[in-house]
Structure 1
Amino acid sequence: MEAVYQEARGVAHVEAGYTGGAVPHPTYEQICTGGTGHAEVVRLEFDPAVISYHDILEIFFTIHDPTTLNRQGNDVGTQYRSVIYYQSAEQEKVARKVLAEMAGVWDAPIVTELAPAQPYYKAEEYHQHYVEQHPLQGYCACVVAPKVEKFRAMYAHRLK
């Protein structure tokens, strides 16, 4: 999802990382075991005068499947859960509103978790801008590229 948000107007910074677990400063290898409790996440800095938190979340629900528990495509494990970590009561309110709106869009129940922000750890440098660095890698070409194209088609008005 990092690749999608990098293209969105109003998004100033995108970073891959981990949050929601019990182990301080986890590595990718540690979180892949499922034993740390962390989720792979994207941390965004955005200008709310250009793109709202609501719109950020709407894009989130458009480019991933929020109906599969602990799974995104072929990636399976708690680290792949669908989750929104909010920073404030206002963000929680908006997230609950978007969750309710999206319930009518999907054919299956949404399993996306909603939780207060937890300690966040930046992913290793080789995970930053991963799709840009590895566009022909199978996951990037077969899974991420179609999501980026879907974003571009549905949100052309949001492109930088």
Structure 2
Amino acid sequence: MANKNLEKLTVGAGCFWCIEAVYNEVKGIEKVVSGYSGGTVPGKPTYREVCSGLTGHAEVVQVTFDPNIISYEDLLVIFMTSHDPTTLNRQGADVGSQYRSVIFYHNDKQKEIAEVVIKEMTPYYEMPIVTEISPLGEFFEAEAVHQNYYANNQTQGYCSFVITPKLAKLRQLHADKLKTRVT
């Protein structure tokens, strides 16, 4: 296998189960890991601690991708259209700073691209975009039960009623960016 120049994207769009399921369908994605970032409490946070809203962490995914197949900009457009970037600290019924819309950039180039994408997306929303753009601090991988959650729990209520419709929207808006599905 050829050595690839892989890059990383780290974003939060509410519950990490949703955005993980979205990115798992995109071409050029090597790996998606659910986790936590952006907090101020020392040590590795647990799901329960993050859900309390007291750690400052957001539920995020860290995506490893091949920029020769999918660009960072395209991944951000998918991010912006896969959740509501106009609601502060909330996505649907999930409320709190742990569910904030956030882009954690890995370098200055990613920061610049994030700023441009948000500016370009602004006219498509009636309300102001409140997506935070911050440097990535430490990323903590979430517990094993949260990895590939949708793939492992598709019939669970949250998955059926929240994630499945997000995936349908993804397939409608970004069909050209998705992996070939075997039916």
User: Are 1:30 and 2:30 counterparts?
Assistant: no
What's the counterpart of residue 19 of structure 1?
37
Distance 1:66 1:146 in 2: 17
Q: Which structure 1 residue ranges, 4+ long, deviate > 2 Å from structure 2? A: none
User: Following TM superposition, by how much is the alpha carbon of 1:154 offset from its aligned partner in structure 2, in angstroms?
Assistant: 1.3
Residue 136 (structure 2) aligned to one of 104, 107, 117: 117
- Could you list the runs of 5+ residues in structure 1 that have no partner in the other structure? none
Determine if the alignment matches structure 1 residue 8 to structure 2 residue 61. no
CA distance, structure 1, for counterparts of residue 68 and residue 167 of structure 2: 23
TM-score (norm 2): 0.86
Query: C-alpha distance in 2, partners of 1:78/1:131?
Result: 23
Q: Which residue of 2 aligns with 1:94?
A: 113
For normalisation by structure 1, the TM-score amounts to 0.98
Q: Can you list the C-alpha shifts for 1:82-109, whole angstroms capped at 9, x where unaligned?
A: 0000001100000000010111111111
Q: Following TM superposition, by how much is the alpha carbon of 1:139 offset from its aligned partner in structure 2, in angstroms?
A: 1.4
Letter in 2 for 1:19: S
Q: Give the AA of the match of 1:74.
A: A
Alignment deviations for residues 27-79 of structure 1 (CA, whole Å, 9 cap, x no partner): 00000111100000010000111100000000000010001110000000110
Q: Distance in 2 between matches of 1:143 and 1:48?
A: 29
Structure 2 unaligned residues grouped into runs of 5+? 1-18
**Secondary structure of the equivalent of 2:61?**
strand
Question: Is 1:153 aligned to 2:172, yes or no?
Answer: yes
RMSD: 0.7
Residue 136 of structure 1 deviates from its aligned partner by: 1.6
Q: Kindly tell me the number of residue pairs found equivalent between the two proteins.
A: 160
Matched, 1:83 2:102: yes
After superposition, give the CA deviation of every residue in 1:117-147 in whole Å (9 maximum; x if it has no partner). 1100000000001111111222111111111
Partner of 1:61: 80
Give the corresponding residue for 2:124: 105
Q: 2:63 aligns with which of 26, 44, 60?
A: 44
Percent identical among aligned pairs is: 52
